[in-house]
A and B are shown apart, each in its own frame.
Chain A
Amino acid sequence: EPEVTQTPSHQVTQMGQEVILRCVPISNHLYFYWYRQILGQKVEFLVSFYNNEISEKSEIFDDQFSVERPDGSNFTLKIRSTKLEDSAMYFCASSERAGGRTDTQYFGPGTRLTVL
């Protein structure tokens, strides 16, 4: 069964460094998402992406964050200058249709980011 994959599974970085989290969505999916979950807190929406542009973003997704689909298979989340509070599990997701409130989002296993 097709699935969303994410690399790396765990990334450790120093405060102020740039990190890129990578995701490979399901191949025929059109919509891509990033979420994060700080330890002990809710899963929070960051951004959705369709047709090579951001569709929606939350207040969390400030200028420190960016997303890109550099080729036909990868979808990346970049954090330019990491802060301690960026430490979290980051989930990538994708959905088949062109957005919509009832679409099923398929999630990857997550990347645990630890900022020291």
Chain B
Amino acid sequence: AQSVTQLGSHVSVSEGALVLLRCNYSSSVPPYLFWYVQYPNQGLQLLLKYTSAATLVKGINGFEAEFKKSETSFHLTKPSAHMSDAAEYFCAVSEGQAGTALIFGKGTTLSVSS
């Protein structure tokens, strides 16, 4: 069964600093990986997804993630944090015979200070 592990339940950065949120996956088949963001009192919103087309994936709001098979990682980065980036971030992998189930990590809360 596929799984994802997010290292660090809470990450704090200063405005303008690099954001790095870590995600490692475990999968017996080529994985399809996703990053979602959840702002307070809102649903999960897709930031980006890896579908094997390119290892460096660009998403919304300046985020990107790089798929590294050798490291079984799909870390999320943003060069310069903004206050509005404060939210909870979830890494997920699709699973199931039909591939409809998303298996989520525990999430990482990003705090941005001025």
CA A44 to CA B36, docked complex, whole Å = 14
Q: Which A residues touch B107, using CB under 8 A?
A: 42-43
Q: Which A residues touch B70, using CB under 8 A?
A: none
Asked if residues B101 and A91 are in contact (CB atoms below 8 Å), the reply is: no
CA A116 to CA B90, docked complex, whole Å = 29
Nearest residue (CB) in A for B97 is: A56
Choose the segment among A67-75, A80-88, A107-115 that binds chain B (4+ C-beta atoms closer than 8 Å). A107-115
CA A106 to CA B103, docked complex, whole Å = 15
Pick the most buried of B44, B92, B106: most chain A CB atoms within 10 A of its CB. Answer: B44
Q: Which B residues touch A107, using CB under 8 A?
A: 36, 43-45
From A42, A56, A104, contact of B96 by CB (8 A): A56
Q: Which A residues touch B102, using CB under 8 A?
A: 33, 35, 43, 45, 105
Total A-B contacts with CB atoms under 8 angstroms apart: 70
Does B104 lie at the interface of the complex (its beta carbon under 8 Å from any beta carbon of A)? yes
Question: Which parts of A89-115 form the interface with B (CB within 8 Å)?
Answer: 91, 93, 99-110
Asked if residues A102 and B49 are in contact (CB atoms below 8 Å), the reply is: yes
Q: Sort chain A's interface into a size bin.
A: 20 to 34
Asked if residues B44 and A43 are in contact (CB atoms below 8 Å), the reply is: yes
Knowing A42-B105, A55-B100, say if A102 contacts B44 (CB, 8 Å): no
Q: Which B residues touch A93, using CB under 8 A?
A: 44
Q: Sort chain B's interface into a size bin.
A: 20 to 34
Does A76 lie at the interface of the complex (its beta carbon under 8 Å from any beta carbon of B)? no
Asked if residues B100 and A110 are in contact (CB atoms below 8 Å), the reply is: no
Q: Which A residues touch B94, using CB under 8 A?
A: 101-102
Asked if residues B32 and A102 are in contact (CB atoms below 8 Å), the reply is: yes
CA A56 to CA B97, docked complex, whole Å = 8
Knowing A41-B106, A43-B104, A45-B103, say if A101 contacts B32 (CB, 8 Å): yes
Pick the most buried of A4, A55, A91: most chain B CB atoms within 10 A of its CB. Answer: A55
Does A64 lie at the interface of the complex (its beta carbon under 8 Å from any beta carbon of B)? no
- Contact sample, A vs B, 5 pairs, CB 8 Å cutoff: A42-B107, A48-B100, A100-B99, A107-B44, A107-B45
